[in-house]
Chain A
Amino acid sequence: MNITGKLICVTVLVFHVSFAFGQALPVVNIDTDPKTVSIGFADIVSDNMESAVFGNPAAMSFSDFKVAAAGSYCYWQPDAIKEHRSFLSGSYKVNDRWAVAAGLANGVGCSYDMYGKDAEFIGKFTPLNLHFKVGASCKLLPYLSFGMNVGFVDNIMAPEYANMAFLADLFVMSSVHDFKIVVGARNLGVAWTDSGTMLDNLPFAVSAGASYGKSFHDSHGVGVYAQYDFMGADAMSTSLGASYSYRNFISLRTGGRIGFGKVPSMMSVGCGVTLKPVEFNLAYILPVQGTALSNTVCVSIVYMI
């Protein structure tokens, strides 16, 4: 069995084990890259090299850039969680076969009131989470790449209480002409509390997606994206997105997600302005009743050469 076969076997095994248990640390599923948010969270089929460490690392192998870096801020769920999230990430394409990436994300939640078992007021606390990841990609074949991220998450939710995890993402991506398809598994790993108690497994997800991107006369570029995420029988979603760019200067993006089970549906729009080698991006989740994600706004600045 070659290495590809072994990875598939491990993936199936972890997949099975993950769904046999529950989930922990849902924060690891949050991707606030404006490019991804604006196309309905179809993150694995986008070709964002600068934030691939938080999405699909296998995409780095098919990127046209040598180096990409990004800084991002997002006001996450301003009508609910009210978390200020940001990240810094970067990727470097070592050669035509290998690429590596690293990223650091953090979230500062809204201060909340603490109450005891008799409703007595205890005090206030501001939750904080930190997410560090590194990734690598290897083009196995001219049309096929494999990518992997590993990371560490520390989610501090209450005084003297934090959850931590080691996790990994695995993806396989194929690019043929203007089409790309990808399959992968995310959030494989273990989690525990700061007191040493093991937690249920991470919010494991199996994702698959496809995209099509085409430039016309070097002036107009279009892309469509589709992605399916399976996070359990009561949590599935399908994301659809589209983008348009003019002369690689201005980009317009839109998308949506159709949620099943616990996963909420949403619609988002976004735009980007490229002043090479810098790119500015904005995403906004449209207010839809019943969706906690409404009015989420994310911005980023990207440097690419």
Chain B
Amino acid sequence: MFFSQKIMKRISFYIISLLVISCSHDCLDSVWNEEQENCQNTESAVSGVAVVKFDEDFLSEVESDFMAGGVVTKSSEFNDLQQMLGVVSLKRMFPHAGKYEARTRAEGLHRWYIVNYKATVPYTKASGDFMTFKGIEVVEPFRPVVMSDCFDDPWMNRQWHYYNDGSLSPEHQKGADINVVPVWERYTTGCEDVVVAVIDGGIDQNHEDLAANCIGGYNFVSDSPVLTPHDHGTHVAGTIGAINNNGIGVAGIAGGNHKSMNPGVRLLSCQIFQQTGGEVDDSVDGSLAIKWAADNGAVIAQNSWGYKFDSYRDAKETEIPQFLKEAIDYFIKYAGMDENGNQTGPMKGGVVIFAAGNSGWDTDPIGLYYPVVSVGAIGPDGTKTRYSNYGSWVDISAPGGDVQCQDGMVYSTLPDNQYGGFQGTSMACPHVSGVAALLVSYYGGLDFTADELKERLLSGADDSYPDIRTVGPVVDALSSMVYGNKIAPDPVTDMEVAVKNGRLHFEWSATVDPDEIVAYGYRIFVAKRISDLQDVASEVPLGVDRVEVIHKRSKVGDKLSAEYSKGQLGHTYYLAAVAFDRDDNVSPLSDIVTVRLPDNRPPVIVPLQDMPQSIKVGAHDLLELVFEITDPDNHEFDVMLKDATAFSGLIEKDPGVYSMTVKGNSNLSGEYVAILSVSDELGAKSEFQIHYELLPNMRPVLNHSMGDSILSSMSESIMLDFTDCFIDPDGGVLDYEVHLSDPAIMMVSRNGDVVSLVPVNYGMTEVAVTASDSYGAYAEMRFKVAVRNGSGVLVYPNPVSDFLNISVHDAVSAKVMLTSHSGNLEYERILALDPFKNIKIDMRGFPAGIYYLSVVGDGMSIEKQLIKL
């Protein structure tokens, strides 16, 4: 069985269901109110588009003209009206309905036409003019259709696999779905004539969201008609045929429309799995179920099962069983036909669709069997899932879910009126079966063959996904539905061209495609000569450039845009566009628009500060230069700074305001020229020369010198503010160092640029303060500090054993004499006494005893008695 399951807690399921249901009710109320308003207002209608219902008689006169694809009819009066309103196309609103065409015409639906006219004509004028024409009975505005109007199934907002707007999680990629909503809106939601055999576990026949579409089946495990509900089978069945628009549960791809009383496709349960309560289900081979389904009305065989292999090698070396091949062949050949070979179902023959498998291998024996449609899986991000088998044998892919992505699983029905998410190619496979069922529902009828279905299914698949080489193109319900159509979209009528940043910028409205709802893509032709555009729709001549854009999910009237960047400035260009559909049916050429690309003007550089002839940059300066740079043509531009010695930090500090700094550098002193160069994206350039001179460094200077100081006690101190003493002429930040010749005398306490010199011992020290700038240039200040124990003349120690100190407060020259106890003159000198230079008399050679010291100088006379020990 190809699936992995996330079992949801029952209680959480109820909570989530309630939340979703209540939200859905709110949404419905808002939609209803909006619709009431729209009855009075046509502003939200698509401009240039109206829906008209022709009179039966008038239509019978001109219908053949309409079917020919032209707007010119046999009615000249109507032709005049068309010319006045600028009508460019008329398409049937309800396309030819095949076997249902008769009843379509009986109900008059064939008389509804979508009319495209000049977009500049207001709807009120157009509707008034249409109503004055006797061949038109009703005129209605053409309103864009939004997703929320589709179905009211509350779980549908989780079914990204049907409509992925990228909102469920960051991993969800907008558009990574099966594009089924437009099919529901415009074509079909399924037809009860179509029987899909779900060869799987048993479908819960009583499920609230499935029961109406279930037609029973057979239990091949128990060999009885009694089916036992199975998670996997019920989930697969819900994807194909859960009832739509019934206000409960989930949507199914071909589940009909409950409110419109349209039943969906029939689900024939062919039970080959039966849950036992253990890890492994009871099962039987699906081949007999396939054969049985062909004999019991099914035209599509949905198979999310395969064989179990011990290893990759086992799988690689195993071939599909012959009995299975023959059962598949039987189904393809006889499905939809009775025992006599008469077609009894909507399709002649059947299509067998198999899941590719979840081993992540490049092989699967069943998938390799060519007649089988093998289905790989993509995740909500539009890439191949890690589990999906892959290879060129995989025919097509579909969303299979990814449990690792938030809200990334495939949501569908589970037994007992439950709902939940699974992942696997088992979940991808019913998407393809469901789309196939829609195609049969719409196109089925006599002589509609399984080959036609298969071609439409596979050829319509979207090959724009990244992993189509490994898991095939992604099933696209709309593309398959419209595959092979011949009617071209309406031409573009409102293309506007503007010049932005030297580029041609196109904008137009998405146009109607009568059989595909909306144009699939557009080609815009750009030429320098108008004559080159004459037949450009059929053949693109040399010299004409083409811009092609695909808007596969746009809605009629959406504003679309594109750009052309190869235009040369100063030249005139002629432009026209065509719309095309998925089958490359091309609309007529639009009106030709003429536009001239103006000459490119260079950017403008304006300095936002005074700019002297040469900027002087001191060695320590850091100057910011600011420029406003604008481009008169609003082009993008690049800003460069060239030859920018000592420049740095070119930044855009505000939009259009650029800042750069130039830093002084004495080592590079000299005159320079930097160039601010601005080039716009088209090559126009402006330059601004910045002349500047990097000045050499100037040495710090001593501004105020500190004199020598005498401290008469330990409680005194010196405060020194470096900034008062030194200045740097060119503004450099100075670094200060203090050095003491005798660190034992004073303690240096520094607080920023202020230093305190606090005495810790008596004596004298020289203080050297050095102020250095960042270049190492410096200035120095020296002064002496004497720390004395008191004022006046100090003679110490006494008694003295070695050196006698004589300290004075003022410098003086004095005669110093030492006389011994016996009167001998032991020492006599004339000394220069200096307060910052202690006089020391070496008394080590003096005999011990009493001495008399006499110091006599200018204005001073000191006598002391000393003891020499």
The residues of A with any CB-CB pair to B shorter than 8 Å are 22-27, 29-30, 77, 80-83, 109-110, 112-120, 125, 127, 155, 157-158, 161, 163, 193, 199-200, 203, 235, 262-264, 266, 290-293
Contact = CB atoms under 8 A, between A and B. Distances in A.
B796 A200 contact: no
22 contacts: A25-B848, A25-B849, A80-B865, A110-B865, A114-B798, A115-B797, A116-B797, A117-B797, A120-B789, A155-B849, A157-B849, A157-B867, A161-B799, A161-B869, A193-B848, A199-B848, A200-B847, A263-B824, A264-B823, A266-B823, A290-B825, A292-B852
A150 to B, nearest CB: 20
Contacts of B863: 80
B788 A119 contact: yes
Given A109-B850, A264-B819, 20 more contacts: A25-B849, A77-B852, A81-B819, A81-B821, A109-B865, A112-B864, A112-B867, A113-B798, A115-B797, A116-B797, A119-B790, A119-B796, A120-B796, A158-B867, A161-B869, A163-B848, A262-B820, A262-B826, A291-B823, A292-B819
A113 B794 CA distance: 11
- Name the residue among B794, B805, B820, B821 with the largest chain A CB count within 10 angstroms: B821
Given A26-B820, A127-B867, A116 B825 contact: no
B822 interface: yes
B822 A30 contact: yes
Contacts of B864: 112-113
Contacts of A157: 799, 848-850, 867, 869
Contacts of A262: 820, 824-826
Nearest to B798: A115
A129 B835 CA distance: 36
Given A80-B819, A264-B825, A24 B847 contact: yes
A26 B788 contact: no
B850 A83 contact: yes
Q: Which 4 A-B pairs have the closest CB atoms?
A: A80-B852, A115-B796, A119-B796, A292-B819
Contacts, number: 118
Given A114-B798, A161-B869, A119 B850 contact: no
A171 B758 CA distance: 64
A110 B869 CA distance: 17
Contacts of A77: 819, 823, 852
B807 interface: yes
Nearest to B761: A118
A291 B850 CA distance: 16
Contacts of A83: 821, 850
Nearest to B820: A26
**Secondary structure call for the B interface:** strand
Interface string B832-855: 000000000000010111101010
Contacts of B824: 26, 235, 262-264
- Name the residue among B762, B794, B795, B797 with the largest chain A CB count within 10 angstroms: B797
Contacts of A119: 762, 788-790, 794, 796-797, 805, 807
B850 A81 contact: yes
A117 B796 contact: yes
B51 interface: no
Contact of B849 (A26, A113, A264, A292): A26
B744 to A, nearest CB: 12
A95 to B, nearest CB: 36
B796 A26 contact: no
A6 B109 CA distance: 173
Contacts of A291: 823
Given A109-B865, A118-B761, A119-B788, A27 B823 contact: no
Contact of A203 (B789, B799, B847, B852): B847
B49 interface: no
Contacts of A109: 850, 865
B289 interface: no
Given A83-B850, A155-B849, A26 B797 contact: no
Contacts of A112: 798, 864-867
B283 to A, nearest CB: 111
Contacts of A82: 865
A266 to B, nearest CB: 8
Nearest to B819: A292
Nearest to B826: A262
A158 B825 contact: no
A213 to B, nearest CB: 27
A125 B762 CA distance: 24
Contacts of A290: 825
Contact of B822 (A29, A113, A161): A29
A30 B847 contact: no
Given A81-B852, A110-B865, A118-B762, A292 B823 contact: yes
- Name the residue among A24, A83, A112, A263 with the largest chain B CB count within 10 angstroms: A112
Contact of A81 (B789, B865, B869): B865
B32 to A, nearest CB: 106
Given A109-B850, A109-B865, A119-B807, A158 B799 contact: yes
A293 B845 CA distance: 23
Nearest to A111: B865
Contacts of B789: 118-120
A112 B797 CA distance: 12
Contacts of A80: 819, 823, 852, 854, 863, 865
Interface string B793-832: 0111111000001010000000000011111111000000
A261 to B, nearest CB: 8
Contacts of B762: 118-119
Contacts of A110: 865
A87 to B, nearest CB: 15
Nearest to A202: B847
B389 to A, nearest CB: 101
A82 B823 CA distance: 11
A80 B865 CA distance: 8
B799 A30 contact: no
A27 B868 CA distance: 13
A179 B820 CA distance: 34
Contact of A27 (B821, B826, B866): B821
B839 to A, nearest CB: 13
Given A81-B850, A120-B789, A115 B825 contact: no
A117 B799 CA distance: 10
- Name the residue among A110, A116, A157 with the largest chain B CB count within 10 angstroms: A157
A277 B788 CA distance: 61
Nearest to B794: A119
B821 A30 contact: yes
A291 B822 CA distance: 11
A250 to B, nearest CB: 29
B510 to A, nearest CB: 104
Contacts of B790: 119
B823 A114 contact: no
B661 to A, nearest CB: 57
A161 to B, nearest CB: 6
Nearest to B807: A119
Nearest to A24: B847
Interface in B762-807: 762, 788-790, 794-799, 805, 807
- Name the residue among A117, A118, A125, A161 with the largest chain B CB count within 10 angstroms: A118
A303 B819 CA distance: 35
Nearest to B803: A117
Contacts of A193: 848
Contacts of B822: 26-27, 29-30, 203
Contacts of B821: 26-27, 30, 81, 83
A80 B789 CA distance: 26
- Name the residue among B790, B796, B852 with the largest chain A CB count within 10 angstroms: B796
B788 to A, nearest CB: 7
Contacts of B852: 77, 80-81, 292
Nearest to B867: A157
A289 B311 CA distance: 132
A29 B822 CA distance: 7
B656 to A, nearest CB: 74
